[in-house]
Structure 1
Amino acid sequence: MQRLYFLIPDKETTSVIVDELNSMGLTKDELHVVGKDWRPLEKEGVPVASLIQTSDVVNASKRGAIAGAVLGLILGLIAHFMLIDTNIVWITLGMIVFGTLFGVWASTMVGVSVRDVKVGKYDKAIKRGAMLLIIDVPDEQEEVFKNTIKRHHSDVIIDKISTKDQKQNVPEGH
């Protein structure tokens, strides 16, 4: 799946594009809009982007799970060597599970407050009244969607998440 970002100049064009994307087979679960005045679009049935689409919460929880599991493994091994006559398997597994859960919880709390790098890139335009439409499309159909929208709406800016953008979205300290 590819996540595409369409910066659209106004609500009316956004509504037309959403209708076009629906006719091309995209469902409401694959479309999300971000904008200053999104309420009229929501009344038309255009799904509004949630924290999952506009923040770094998903990536942060993945990083937290990995970091927590590694820390749990290390602490489990340390506990085993400090507490003689203990079962290394149960202590280590327990610490890994605890570390993973704690890592997910802690990093999710941080991830909610970190703006998604691509959404943040368009904050100024959104504040001026533009709408950001986020769509998830299958890899093999990415060009079809981009070309169709560009052909009908040349004023729309189309972007997608790149590997560089994903790495750039790591908050300081991680």
Structure 2
Amino acid sequence: MLPDIPHARAMLDELLLARVEERHMHFCAKEGTLPADMPEANFLQQTDIIHGIGIGSIIGAVSGMIAGALLMMFPPEGMELRVAALLVAALCGAIFGSWASGMAAAAIPSSRLAPFRDAIKAGQVLLIIDLPLRRVAEIEELILQRHPEVNFGGMEPHIPVFP
């Protein structure tokens, strides 16, 4: 958390000098206060859409499997359903669940940003930096040396792109 916009601007410049690319920095401030030339947190970071899509796909797949199993146990007259019907039902359920849940979650502010909401409303600026794990300590030290007023909000666990 940075105290205000001028501190956020200074931090942006210092991180650029430390070779952190601008596309890896995301600022979140009270609506309408962040200058246009500062990288703002995007839609995916400000909403719970990713979490919603994940939950929706799981619930939809399970619901689809249940519906497919019921169709296999009680098939319509004259139809013989195979295991492929169960898989198709699960896939269709996952797709529909992802879509429906994602649409609902797009309107919900990110639960990960909830601890910072009051400070943002008070005029502070949240800075999110995407860094490789090997650079985290270096950048934290740089920030603490130049900006002792900064409050660290923590680090999210490392999640690989492909598990």
TM tier relative to shorter chain? 0.7 to 0.9
| Equivalent residue letter for 2:122 | R
Aligned pairs (5 A) from 1:23-38: 23-36=17-30
Secondary structure at the aligned position of 1:98 is classed as helix
Structure 1 partner of 2:132: 138
Residues 15, 41 of structure 1: 8 Å contact kept: no
Structure 1 partner of 2:149: 155
Structure 2 partner of 1:167: none
Structure 2 partner of 1:77: 69
Change in Cα spacing, 1:124 to 1:47, as seen in structure 2 (3 Å) is same
Shift of 1:93: 2.2
| Equivalent residue letter for 1:72 | G
Secondary structure at the aligned position of 1:145 is classed as helix
Corresponding pairs, count: 155
Q: Which runs of 5+ in 1 are unaligned?
A: 1-6, 164-174
Report whether the alignment pairs 1:106 with 2:100: yes
Give me the identity figure in percent: 26
Alpha-carbon displacement from aligned partner over 1:114-170 (angstroms, at most 9, x marks no partner): 32234221222211211111111112222222121111101011112557xxxxxxx
Report whether the alignment pairs 1:55 with 2:60: no
Greater relative contact order (Cα < 8 A, sep 6+): 1
Structure 1 partner of 2:35: 41
Secondary structure at the aligned position of 2:153 is classed as strand
Secondary structure at the aligned position of 2:40 is classed as coil
Q: Comparing both structures, which one devotes a greater share of its residues to strand?
A: 1
**Bigger-Rg structure (1/2):** 2
TM-score, normalization by structure 2 = 0.84
Change in Cα spacing, 1:118 to 1:97, as seen in structure 2 (3 Å) is closer
- Rounded to whole Å, the distance in 2 between the matches of 1:40 and 1:98 is 41
